[in-house]
Amino acid sequence: MNKKLTVIVEWTGDNFGASAPEVAGCVATGKTLSEVKEAYASALDFHRQGADEGELPEWIMRGEYVLDFELTAGALLKYYGDVVTLSAMSRATGINARQLSHYINGNRTPRARQRERIVAGLHTIAKQLADAR
């Protein structure tokens, strides 16, 4: 059975960046979310091929993993920013639009509770869009 390898995706200001805490030194960037996902999968394969014995957990070395991409609050807001305005996100989350902008730009890092509110807000907006017929 494959284990889940969590890959953290952040917005760096110009690109999405991806890294996994369990795989030190393996990073990837991309202009889009799909690009960074593809680039990280490729970088991890390359990293595994060049890894010394014991450098990575055995399950990763054997390829017994599934990549699970987790976006930071800034990456989530940037990714959905083309579809949902900061004003709409502010109304859905109850978080000030200026504060959301700080999260996107990396000027501030939201607490876990704020991230949960952002995700819940995106779900609310998605449900509203799905219900509109």
Domain locations in the chain as residue ranges = 3-71, 76-131
Mean pLDDT of 6-10: 98
Beta bridge partners of 3: 65
Residue 133, pLDDT > 80, answer no
Q: Is the dihedral of CA 114, 116, 118, 121 positive or negative?
A: negative
> Is residue 100 classed as helix, strand or coil in its secondary structure?
helix
Share of the chain above pLDDT 70, in %: 99
Phi, psi of 54 (to 5 degrees): 85, -5
pLDDT band at 132 (very low <50, low <70, confident <90, very high): confident
How far is residue 81's CA from residue 36's CA, in Å, rounded to a whole number? 17
Pairing of strands 27-30, 65-71: unpaired
Mean pLDDT of 97-116: 93
Q: Is 30 left (phi over 0), alpha (psi -120 to 50) or beta?
A: beta
pLDDT band at 75 (very low <50, low <70, confident <90, very high): very high
pLDDT value, residue 3: 96
Share of the chain above pLDDT 90, in %: 83
Residue 43, pLDDT > 90, answer yes
**What is 3-71's CATH number, 3.30.2390.10, 3.40.630.30, 3.30.565.10, 3.40.50.300?**
3.30.2390.10
pLDDT value, residue 83: 87
Phi, psi of 35 (to 5 degrees): -65, -45
Counting every residue written for the chain, the total comes to 133
Mean pLDDT of 105-133: 91
How far is residue 76's CA from residue 2's CA, in Å, rounded to a whole number? 26
Q: Is the dihedral of CA 71, 74, 76, 78 positive or negative?
A: negative
